[in-house]
Amino acid sequence: MRHSIATVSLSGRLEHKLAAAAGAGFDGIELFDNDLVASTLSPREVAARCADLGLAVELFQPVRDVEGVAPDGFGAVRRRFAAKLDVMEQLGTSVVLCCSNASPDALDDPDLSAEQLAALGDLAAERGVTIAYEALAWGRHVSRFAQSWDVVRRADHPSVTVAVDTFHLLARGDGPEVLAGVPGDRIGFLQVADAPLLRTDLLEWSRHFRCFPGQGGLDVTGVVAATVAAGYDGPLSLEVFSDVVREAPPEVTARDARRSLIFLESELGESAAPLPDRVDAAFVEVPAGHEDLLTALGFVEVGRHRSKPVTRWRNGAAEVVVNRAPTDTALGVVVPSVPAVAARARALLWPEVDRSRGAGEAQLPGITSPSGLHVFVSAPDGADDWIGDFAPTGTPPAGDWGGLDHLGVAVPEDRLNEEIGFLRTVLGMVPAAVEEFIEPRGRLRSRAVRPSAGDLRVVLNVEHAAGADRSGVTQVAFACADVRAAATALRERGVPLLEVPGNYYVDLAARFDLTDAEVDDLRRHGLFYDRSGGGELVHLYTEVLPTGFYVELLQREGGYDGYGSAGTHVRLAAQQH
Amino acid sequence: MRHSIATVSLSGRLEHKLAAAAGAGFDGIELFDNDLVASTLSPREVAARCADLGLAVELFQPVRDVEGVAPDGFGAVRRRFAAKLDVMEQLGTSVVLCCSNASPDALDDPDLSAEQLAALGDLAAERGVTIAYEALAWGRHVSRFAQSWDVVRRADHPSVTVAVDTFHLLARGDGPEVLAGVPGDRIGFLQVADAPLLRTDLLEWSRHFRCFPGQGGLDVTGVVAATVAAGYDGPLSLEVFSDVVREAPPEVTARDARRSLIFLESELGESAAPLPDRVDAAFVEVPAGHEDLLTALGFVEVGRHRSKPVTRWRNGAAEVVVNRAPTDTALGVVVPSVPAVAARARALLWPEVDRSRGAGEAQLPGITSPSGLHVFVSAPDGADDWIGDFAPTGTPPAGDWGGLDHLGVAVPEDRLNEEIGFLRTVLGMVPAAVEEFIEPRGRLRSRAVRPSAGDLRVVLNVEHAAGADRSGVTQVAFACADVRAAATALRERGVPLLEVPGNYYVDLAARFDLTDAEVDDLRRHGLFYDRSGGGELVHLYTEVLPTGFYVELLQREGGYDGYGSAGTHVRLAAQQH
């Protein structure tokens, strides 16, 4: 049989994957769509590279969520599918993997699924393409091989076949017997993968991932409050175990554990140091040496600290502080009462950064997070307002940037729980769900945290990648009213903007009903785009700067509330070029 | 509220855990039974240490599988529970956590569970102890808080209360509302833990743990054979992704991937180099410098290699080869045909170790596994029998040891799939399920592999522990007909045997119906004990020797087929003393 391997099975950039597959003697590949979208090679260049290496492009995969779609959404599916057929033609491949609909909105109607697959089969047949339809083990309604074969039989279309994937088939407890009676020419593709027999259940969750109250997402407070309300007067006892605490020094774990109980009691109303009502972003502090970059970004120096070697820079509402003393990139936040937060931090056993203070200056205590992020705490006005410490120097800034949109911080895996615990217990910031992204050398897990009120956003990133050991601020993202104008201005001032691969815009056109002019406009400006609910995000990234971080500019419209996750894998790949 | 933490939540040895809890300001602890069993401190010494540190022993936990037990098994439960009450008395603690039965044999009968808890409540009341009964989220029949409260109400016993554990309660989707109406004095203990909201399902299994055919446990061959039998004539295409391949160099992954397809085709009967019919252990090769150790272990030099600086040592049927050339510890195996295995290894792209060969000597090709283990391949007799290469020197050995029982090999996490693939695809060895053990600085995951016929056993160990970076042979285990006599003899000859904590024998007496004399005999000889099905295992370990490995001696009786897993956590803790 011909030997083939999916590009998603190999690490690295696409050209590296292709060379490795050819080097090991494979006859062909499955091209993973995300690998293409993130590549700087055009589909025709990929086809030529494969031909040079003696590799057939056996399959293009996957096109998702194409059947079981509400009829009013099927037009978008046809458009998306047709766009991928164009790409396949340039690749010179004739089999496309469509996997069963995994969306919560999928409809449970095998006849509808069959009808929609047959309609796509008509489009495919015009291009000489065969669809291989695969039952994902976690498909919403079609999750077992027999169900996918049933849909293919109902479709009754020469270009619609069934795919066999050993993982999906076996993971659901089926075996070879479900293939009985399926004619070989109706099997469009065979994907093979093995897996260890693992438990993926509550027991594993409990054994490997428990964490201290305030580090996770369970309503621990509610249950404890109900237990106390019932009249329980015994101890409040932590029973936490995880891969993290098994390897951490017990002193570190014990201190975090105590903090979590102090937090829990404060949630029960037993603390004299409540959480701040709101938390807003104030400024980013960077070390000296960033002045030229700030100027190129459009920042202007507007003040000098009265007693320290520190200057204040602005671009519109964006505030950056440059510290000539040795320092890491740090974050300034604004809370209603500085003494209240300082008292809370002390109650939670967090050490204060030592800050000397001139006469009449703001208190501005600094607290260091477990991952090493310095957080300076200021008040919106009065004696504890950080702005009062600066004597005006420059002209009022002409820039049109908004404030800090979010800060991206790299956190070592074994400190993530502590970092979340810090932001949650001191500032009341709540973590969102974990998001995971594939990058060329590994993967990235992200958790965004935000307070219940106020505009501060922090995205914590754990890198699981060969050689990854970054920590600290990796991304500084500002809001922006006109990101197209900003892109033009930044280019003129020589700021290196991240180059976006052309395939990304082809994929954008497939995913959204943008006009050609709109897509061209995004491409010309080198912008990323996302849409969610009624909102839109248009954004850009600089390259990773010599200072170790990169700058993002975000134009949020219509209440868009996310971070452009759909393009993150493209950004990660582009940053490694 | 009093602040308490379970000792299982902290890493390290028990005395280190206690010091860390006290240092962080905790008022008390939950004592985890396994931590006590593996400790060299007696229960009274633990009580005194806690008193010195100002820590109350708030809870002893857990006693498992005590209710929903078939009536003829309840006598053993009573005995086990009473033994733990003795320990609790010495600890000075008055609350014991009993968790709901998670055994597949548990009976679904709340009245029986209640009756059995009440019977244990009578025993507890005599000692002033209260039972806190907890619904484990994965309990066989009692898995939700409301069910545990129902059982406690039915028990209607002053010493039987319900436990609240925030993880178990919330993990099942319940919330504070299930506590409505439960009187506080009926809640015996409150354990708190949080957790991130994670998917623990097929999708996660698929994303993070897929592997190449032959590295896992799924019947990939069966599905592929059925697909081919149906008439499918397309490519055989690998779609594997995992945390391992995302970080591995693509060349390494691609080579392993190709090997897996060659293996798969051989399983389909398309290969000219079939798997060996059986694989037996032949010898262990160690570098020079081990001669004094071998003598102390009872080995005698019986031969010299005809052309190399290598000697052969025996103790009964146990064979060790000492190589004066620089070498790592290696394994010799016996297969029916050396050329057949060599051809198979070549077909699978495994490099041969270069072996010069004297006239008339056995071929003895060596293959290096991905983790670096050298495997020499010999035949049972004839020209390829390794024994023929040695000229007899010493007297026939007087020892009574059996052959090699198993070899323990430490494998880096990211090489485990490759290592299993090697043993499976070259020698036909099949992996058993993953077992996991907690050790003071982390955890150990083990997979035992065995051929379908033949006596070779290899245990692959992945260490997840702070500072762990071992690879290679860590354990050499020999069979033995009389391990008590061997223990005495080894001690007399000055071999350092691993010291077993006294608490281990107290726990043995609680778990098995051994007489006092039998337990004393085990204790006096420093032996480990296990029982499974109708078989028994009595075994001992040396300390970790300067050579980096330790020796185990196993006396298997009545068909005992395992590795003494129930005592592994004690062995791991003792090895770190």
Q: Coil, strand or helix: which one is B60?
A: strand
Phi, psi of B551 (to 5 degrees): -105, 135
Chain A contact set for B166 (CB, 8 A): 213, 218, 220, 223-224
| pLDDT over 70, % of chain A | 96
Residues B90 and B161 in one domain: yes
- Assess contact for B3 and A258: CB atoms under 8 A: yes
Segment among A177-181, A229-233, B197-201 with least mean pLDDT: B197-201
Measure B309 CA to nearest chain A CA, in Å.
38
Q: Give tens-digit pLDDT for A192-201.
A: 888 777 655 6
Chain-centroid distance of CA A217 in Å reads 18
Identify the burial level of A343 via C-beta atoms within 10 angstroms of its C-beta, where 0-12 means exposed, 13-18 middle and 19 or more buried. middle
Residues B496 and B474 in one domain: yes
Residues B419 and B382 in one domain: no
- Assess contact for A409 and A540: CB atoms under 8 A: no
Give the type of residue at A125: A
Q: What is the total count of domains within chain A?
A: 4
Segment among A472-486, A542-556, B260-274, B295-309 with least mean pLDDT: B260-274
A297 vs A203, residue with greater confidence = A297
Residue in chain B nearest A136 by alpha carbon: B203
Domain limit, last residue, from A125, A156, A191: A191
Residues A222 and A338 in one domain: no
Phi, psi of A269 (to 5 degrees): 85, 15
Q: Give tens-digit pLDDT for A431-441.
A: 888 888 888 88
Across the interface, whether the CB atoms of A137 and B206 are under 8 A apart is answered yes
From residue A520, give the alpha-carbon distance in Å to each of A80, A482, A492, A526: 18, 17, 20, 10
Q: How far apart are CA A162 and CA A179, in angstroms?
A: 11
Chain A contact set for B261 (CB, 8 A): 3, 192
Residues B304 and B364 in one domain: yes
Average pLDDT over residues A494-500: 95
The CATH number for A56's domain is: 3.20.20.150
Q: Give tens-digit pLDDT for B45-82.
A: 999 999 999 999 999 999 999 999 999 999 999 999 99
Residues A243 and A122 in one domain: no
Q: Coil, strand or helix: which one is B201?
A: coil
Asked whether residue B411 is assigned to any structural domain, the reply reads yes
Across the interface, whether the CB atoms of A176 and B225 are under 8 A apart is answered yes
Residues A293 and A214 in one domain: no
The CATH number for B301's domain is: 3.10.180.10
Asked whether residue B345 is assigned to any structural domain, the reply reads yes
The CA radius of gyration of chain A, in Å to the nearest whole number, is 27
Query: Which of A255, A195, A248 is CA-nearest to residue B443?
Result: A248
Measure B109 CA to nearest chain A CA, in Å.
23
Measure B117 CA to nearest chain A CA, in Å.
21
- Assess contact for A120 and A131: CB atoms under 8 A: yes
Query: Residues near B361 by Cβ (< 8 Å), separated by ≥ 6?
Result: B306, B307, B388, B389
Across the interface, whether the CB atoms of B192 and A224 are under 8 A apart is answered yes
Residues A443 and A567 in one domain: yes
**Whole-number pLDDT of residue A355:** 60
Both tokens of residue B509?
Answer: 């007496």
Q: Coil, strand or helix: which one is B519?
A: helix
At A466, the pLDDT band (50, 70, 90 cuts) reads confident
Chain B contact set for A253 (CB, 8 A): 9-11, 20
Q: How far apart are CA B276 and CA B337, in angstroms?
A: 7
Q: Which residue has the tokens 């950064």?
A: A353
| pLDDT over 90, % of chain A | 57
Query: Residues near A520 by Cβ (< 8 Å), separated by ≥ 6?
Result: none
Domain limit, last residue, from B169, B191, B213: B191
Residues A543 and A420 in one domain: yes
Q: How far apart are CA B460 and CA A86, in angstroms?
A: 49
**Whole-number pLDDT of residue B397:** 67
At A547, the pLDDT band (50, 70, 90 cuts) reads confident
Is B165 one of the annotated binding-site residues? yes
Sort residue A202 into left (φ over 0), alpha (ψ -120 to 50) or beta.
Answer: alpha
For CA atoms A246, A250, A256, A262, the dihedral sign is positive
Chain-centroid distance of CA A540 in Å reads 15
Residues B239 and B349 in one domain: no
ipTM of the complex: 0.79
Asked whether residue B222 is assigned to any structural domain, the reply reads yes
- DSSP calls for B400-416: -EEEEEEEEEE--GGGH
Q: How far apart are CA A124 and CA A96, in angstroms?
A: 9
Q: Tens place of pLDDT for every residue, chain B, 577 residues?
A: 889 999 988 888 899 999 999 998 899 999 999 899 989 999 999 999 999 999 999 999 999 999 999 999 999 999 999 999 999 999 999 999 999 999 989 999 999 999 999 999 999 999 999 999 999 988 999 999 999 999 999 999 999 999 999 888 888 888 889 999 999 899 999 988 887 776 556 777 777 878 888 888 788 888 888 888 888 888 888 888 888 878 888 888 888 888 888 888 888 887 667 889 999 999 999 999 889 999 999 999 999 998 889 999 999 999 999 999 877 889 999 999 988 898 888 888 887 665 655 556 666 778 889 888 989 999 998 888 999 999 999 776 667 899 999 999 999 988 888 899 899 989 999 888 888 888 888 889 999 999 999 999 999 999 988 777 778 899 999 999 999 999 999 999 999 999 999 999 999 999 998 999 999 999 999 999 999 988 999 999 999 988 789 999 999 999 999 999 999 999 999 988 7
Asked whether residue A273 is assigned to any structural domain, the reply reads no
Across the interface, whether the CB atoms of A175 and B219 are under 8 A apart is answered yes
pTM: 0.82
Q: How far apart are CA A474 and CA A469, in angstroms?
A: 12
Both tokens of residue B415?
Answer: 């090489």
Query: Which of A25, A2, A17 is CA-nearest to residue A49?
Result: A17
**Helices A220-229, A250-267: inter-axial angle, 10-degree rounding:** 60
Asked whether residue A563 is assigned to any structural domain, the reply reads yes
Q: Coil, strand or helix: which one is B275?
A: coil
List the alpha helices (DSSP H) in B14-144.
14-23, 33-37, 43-53, 74-91, 110-126
Identify the burial level of B206 via C-beta atoms within 10 angstroms of its C-beta, where 0-12 means exposed, 13-18 middle and 19 or more buried. buried
- Assess contact for A395 and A300: CB atoms under 8 A: yes
From residue A90, give the alpha-carbon distance in Å to each of A58, A60, A503, B220: 14, 11, 12, 33
User: Would you tell me how many other CB atoms lie within 10 Å of the CB of residue B477?
Assistant: 20
B251 vs A355, residue with greater confidence = B251
Q: How far apart are CA A437 and CA A566, in angstroms?
A: 9
Chain A contact set for B433 (CB, 8 A): 197
Residue in chain A nearest B59 by alpha carbon: A237
Residues A35 and A169 in one domain: yes
Across the interface, whether the CB atoms of B235 and A210 are under 8 A apart is answered no
**Whole-number pLDDT of residue B65:** 95
Q: Give tens-digit pLDDT for A246-277.
A: 888 888 888 888 888 888 888 888 766 788 99
Residue in chain B nearest A436 by alpha carbon: B207
Instruction: Print the domain residue range for A316.
Output: 280-392
Query: Residues near A495 by Cβ (< 8 Å), separated by ≥ 6?
Result: A293, A296, A297, A542
Contacts 24+ apart (CB under 8 A), B462-465: B462/B410, B462/B411, B462/B412, B462/B413, B462/B416, B463/B410, B464/A243, B464/A246, B464/A247, B464/B413, B465/A246, B465/A247, B465/B439, B465/B441
Domain limit, last residue, from B168, B191, B214: B191
Asked whether residue A196 is assigned to any structural domain, the reply reads no
A176 vs A394, residue with greater confidence = A176
Interface test with A, best of B31, B185, B194 (most A CBs within 10 A): B194
**Whole-number pLDDT of residue B204:** 76
Q: How far apart are CA A267 and CA A256, in angstroms?
A: 16
Segment among A209-218, A341-350, A409-418, B10-19 with least mean pLDDT: A209-218
- DSSP class of residue B331 equals E
Phi, psi of A238 (to 5 degrees): -85, 125
User: Would you tell me how many other CB atoms lie within 10 Å of the CB of residue B19?
Assistant: 18
Chain A contact set for B240 (CB, 8 A): 6, 9, 193-194
Q: How far apart are CA A85 and CA A66, in angstroms?
A: 14
Chain A contact set for B60 (CB, 8 A): none
| Sheet order of strands, B300-305 included | B352-353, B366-368, B374-378, B330-334, B280-287, B318-323, B310-315, B300-305, B390-392
Q: Which of A170, A200, A213 sits opposite B192 (nearest CB)?
A: A213
Measure B127 CA to nearest chain A CA, in Å.
19
Q: How far apart are CA A536 and CA A567, in angstroms?
A: 13
Asked whether residue B272 is assigned to any structural domain, the reply reads no
Phi, psi of A554 (to 5 degrees): -120, 130
Both tokens of residue B35?
Answer: 């931590």
Mean pLDDT of chain A: 90
- DSSP class of residue A326 equals S
Asked whether residue A197 is assigned to any structural domain, the reply reads no
Query: Which of B499, B510, B369 is CA-nearest to residue B427?
Result: B369
Residues A19 and A158 in one domain: yes
